[in-house]
Amino acid sequence: MMHRIILVREWDAQLAASGCCGRLGGENTELGDTETFAANRSEMEAMGEVYRALRAELFDEDVEITVVDPRNMVWLVPALLKDARRRGLNLREIWSQLRRGISYTSIVVDGKVLFNGRIPPVEDAVAAVKKELEISEPDPAVV
Amino acid sequence: MPAVVVAILVFVAFFLGYRFYSKYLAEKVYALDKSKPTPAHEFEDGVDYVPTNKHVLFGHHFTSVAGAAPIVGPAIAVFWGWVPALLWVVLGTIFAAGVHDFGALVISVRNRAQNIGTLASSVINARARTLFLLIIFFLLTLVNAVFAVVIANLFIAFPGSVIPIFLEIPLAIFIGQYIYRRRTSALIPSLIGVALLYLSILLGQAFPIDLSPIASAIGLDARMLWIILLFAYTFVASRIPVWVLLQPRDYINSHQLFIALGVIFLGVLIGFDRIVAPAIASVPEGSPHWFPFLFITIACGAISGFHSLVSSGTTSKQLDNEEDARYVGYFGSVGEGSLALGSILAATAGLGAYTVWQERYADFNTASSGAVGNFVEGVGHFANNLGVPLGIATIFAAVVVVSFAATTMDTGVRLQRYIIQEIGEIVRFRLLARNLTLAAALAVVIPLGLALYPDLAFGRLWRLFGTTNQLTAGLALAVVAVWVFTRNRNPLAQIVPLVFLLAMTTWALFIQLGDFFRAGDYLLVAIDGVIFVLTLWLIIEAIGAFQRARSERAASGTDGGTTGA
């Protein structure tokens, strides 16, 4: 079974409906500096550490890690709904996961929100994700 | 003809363009290779370089490129009739914008995700980077001036939109503080924000704000006063941290973009309105001729140079594999074309009757100054088809356009500040390069002066904006064409739109130069003249780059080096 881990955090310079000026002005274009999106950069870097650790730990697992901006709700809402439904959650639980998943920062594994609001220490994030993956893996003895 | 039939035909054309032409580009021109590691994998750090699902990346890319610009140009251009405007949007999207956006993304991916300015300097020559900065400087000056006028006109035409727009500011700040400080769910606050914004339309409708009495008391007209207030706002907004206002407002805008698209196309479908505008309009004597002016009046929506900046630099750092560039880059331009289609339908089918349309598009000045208002009324009509009372629906449409235009101004002034500092570095004017307040003041004062220029018809300002946007696209197309040529592949897909764009831009600039001179608009003569020189400079650099590439290709035999960058 393919697992999906979604890391939610803002991209710097990502602006919707800005008439082509979105995605400009951060570090990645010639039209910006490092200070403007400093707050985003620190979150991006902290989540980047979690991302790299998960990549290293789960390199042989059937896992897809996606980093997404919380404002990309057109993708994020259906993705969280789909994963939560696949997990077999009831409507109330789905709503709870959806609400918590779409936040400033969150880590979601197969539709279940493990952390939201703050990026956890890397070790905690990796341990929680691994634990969650073990739980959601079907028991080979039963299968 | 029913608008819905036109919409379906255009979507079919876009589908065919994506299905066949982008496939040709992907296989024969850009020679995409799924197995070739992209910068997202090569430099993967989970921060900037992140292999990203193509649908996620499309969401990030499309929402950034969409905005008010693909609304304004098409709403003006239907002055020549809906068929020429629609044809340029459709053909431009398929054969120019798609090639341009897709190409800029591919070349950036093949060059360690560098941005188009850096690529221009490495593919063409070092002077091209200075040219790039100068074009962007003029582009941003005109963007900021144009959108200040757009917002001012909308505030005057739809005074009910003033209160919602001003309430959006504290609403966005509150959402930002709530989300960032409490680090809680963004879904509910952003939905509540959108709901409160739309609820405030009732307040706006009950208390429309008209600045005319205050303006006349201080010897100004209402439009001038609004423009001054808007630039005062952007000066302050460009100095405060982005997380205070700019980014939180985005949580509202990201919903608004899709709500607006949904309202337009659902309204067209349910209302089954007919296009009342003539297919090809007979325009009054002395009006600008559609050839070449149509091609600079609609820039965004047919082809926009800004997209090369968005494609390179950031989007290219997240591309999972080369084949995804087709979907993200080409389809992104199709998304923008769809917004332009919505604008054409609103300004031709949303106005109700031919007599109304005829009155609104009586001459070019009336058409251009009222174009956004016509779009707003059209969208209001489509929303009315969905059961929203017309008065509220119209203010809703005005709020959407002003929200987008205000975000463009906020970001445009910020970007312009950097460009001015960068130019200060190049000319070694330290005060300009280091003093943020001076750079921000110039970023505001220059477009402010332009927007307040006496008796300036909006259509003239818009055409100048169109020429600079097409020039940016020309620079990016030249870079992509040279790159394709040096890879021993056929660059005709880039050269045809490049030559066409540069010919139309040069021709239009030349005609305008005479028009502005005869009208005594010497400021516009100067700006038009400078843009004309930049265009000639670009043409010379592009020809020179091709000649060098040709010599190199001849010297190295048939192997132009299809590997690496």
User: What 8-state DSSP symbol labels residue B52?
Assistant: B
Strand positions, DSSP E, A9-134: 63-68, 106-109, 112-116
Residue A26 has pLDDT above 80, yes or no: no
Rama region for A111: left / alpha / beta (φ>0; ψ in -120 to 50; rest): left
Quote the pLDDT of residue B558. Answer: 52
CA proximity to A20, closest of B420, B4, B313: B313
Cα–Cα distances (Å) from A73 to B56, B60, B187, B246, B252, in that order, read 10, 10, 8, 18, 11
Quote the pLDDT of residue A63. Answer: 94
Quote the pLDDT of residue A136. Answer: 60
Quote the pLDDT of residue A137. Answer: 56
| Range from A28-42, A129-143, B225-239, B367-381 carrying the lowest mean pLDDT | A129-143
Chain A (3-42) residues lying within 8 Å, Cβ to Cβ, of chain B: 7, 10-11, 13-33, 36-37, 39-40
Which amino acid appears at position B73 of this protein? G
User: What 8-state DSSP symbol labels residue B326?
Assistant: I
How far is B481 from B486, CA to CA, in rounded Å?
Answer: 9
How far is B347 from B151, CA to CA, in rounded Å?
Answer: 18
Which one of B328, B411, B413 makes the best mutation probe of the A interface by having the most chain A beta carbons within 10 Å?
B411
Which amino acid appears at position B189 of this protein? P
- Give every strand in the sheet of A106-109, ordered side by side: A63-68, A3-8, A106-109, A112-116
Quote the pLDDT of residue B564. Answer: 44
CA proximity to B306, closest of B464, B412, B440, B445: B412
Nearest 10 degrees: CA dihedral of A40, A45, A51, A56?
170
Nearest CB neighbour to B256, from listed A14, A17, A99:
A17
B188 chain-A contacts, CB cut-off 8 A: 99
Nearest CB neighbour to A48, from listed B45, B55, B68:
B45
CATH level 2 (architecture), domain A3-136:
3-Layer(aba) Sandwich (3.40)
pLDDT mean over A118-128: 96
Minimal Cα distance from B69: which residue of A? A19
User: What 8-state DSSP symbol labels residue B517?
Assistant: H
The helix (H) or strand (E) run that includes residue A3 is: strand A3-8
- Contact at 8 Å (CB) between B512 and B463? yes
Nearest CB neighbour to B242, from listed A36, A47, A48:
A36
Which one of A18, A43, A126 makes the best mutation probe of the B interface by having the most chain B beta carbons within 10 Å?
A18
Question: Within chain B, which residues score under 70 in pLDDT?
Answer: 557-565
Q: Where are the domains of chain A?
A: 3-136
B322 burial via Cβ count (<10 Å: 0-12, 13-18, 19+):
buried
